[in-house]
Amino acid sequence: MSTLLQINASIHSDSGESSQLAAQFARGFKRQHPEVRIVQRDLATEVVPHLSADRFAAFLSTPEKRTDAQRAVLQFSDALIAELRGADVIVIGLPMYNFGIPSQLKAYFDHVARVGVTFKYTAQGPVGLLTGKKAYVLATRGGQYVGTPRDTQTNYVRDFLNFIGIDQVEFVYAEGLAISTDTKTASLAQAAGRIEKLAGGRIEELAA
């Protein structure tokens, strides 16, 4: 059975515009692939702690020297990674906050980037270990930033996902949501149309 992992990064949980677009993708995908299992992770309600020196030390610790607290950190990280590893398709609802990604998504990234687990270093450079997946990023912005220096999200999110082995990343943008009601309506409608087309693809094509 194939699995779709929906990650909502909005502080507004499932009521955020980006979360609603991600949910639309998941619904469309489910209609086309009734057998798919959908797993949701809401970073507003399932809080991932921000990385600290103590938490990072747990990632570097050896099994025989780990404290109970470090084992708990590793178990938490392992669960997030297992969820990600088990997904064939990943859908991320991504709002823009002050020109960056939400801090809760950064915390999530920090807990799934583990050397020897999701990537490794080689003489030729880093190699991602979570291969054979495709990610769809539903990005919502109050202003219009695609193709400008203020779009700090696209390259960063693509680079991070590539780093851990997810090298097929598709972005759908809904921009100008704070400019006017008309702009918001038109932008969301355009994004919804693209999502419907993308969600209707075959699983082997989406996650090839």
Within 10 angstroms of residue 119's Cβ, the number of other Cβ atoms is 19
pLDDT at 149: 96
Question: Pairing relation of β-strands 125-128 and 119-122?
Answer: antiparallel
pLDDT exceeds 60 at position 203: no
Q: Would you place residue 205 in the very low, low, confident or very high pLDDT band (cuts 50, 70, 90)? A: low
Say which amino acid occupies 178: A
Residues 6+ apart with CB under 8 A from 129: 117, 118, 119, 120, 164, 165
Following CA atoms 159, 163, 166, 167 in sequence, which dihedral angle do they give, to the nearest 10 degrees? Answer: 60
What are the pLDDT digits (tens) for 12-27? 999 999 999 999 999 9
- Residue 143 vs residues 36, 175, 194, 201: alpha-carbon distances, Å: 35, 6, 20, 30
pLDDT at 208: 46
DSSP-assigned beta bridge partners for residue 135: 90, 169
pLDDT at 66: 95
For 178-196, what is the mean pLDDT?
97
Contact (CB, 8 A) for 129 and 119: yes
Contact (CB, 8 A) for 170 and 191: no
What are the pLDDT digits (tens) for 102-131? 999 999 999 999 999 999 999 999 999 999
Q: Would you place residue 1 in the very low, low, confident or very high pLDDT band (cuts 50, 70, 90)? A: confident
Domains defined for the chain, CATH in brackets: 3-206 (3.40.50.360)
DSSP-assigned beta bridge partners for residue 138: 93, 172
Collapsing DSSP states into helix, strand and coil, what is residue 133? Answer: coil
93 burial level (CB within 10 Å; 0-12, 13-18, 19+): buried
What are the pLDDT digits (tens) for 34-81? 999 999 999 999 999 999 999 999 999 999 999 999 999 999 999 999
What are the pLDDT digits (tens) for 138-184? 999 999 999 999 999 999 999 999 999 999 999 999 999 999 999 99
The C-alpha atoms of residue 205 and residue 140 are separated, in whole angstroms, by 25
Which stretch of DSSP H or E encloses residue 172?
Answer: strand 168-174
12-37 per-residue burial string, b: 16 or more CB within 10 A, e: under 16: eebebbbbbbbbbbbebbeeebeebe
* Confidence (pTM): 0.94
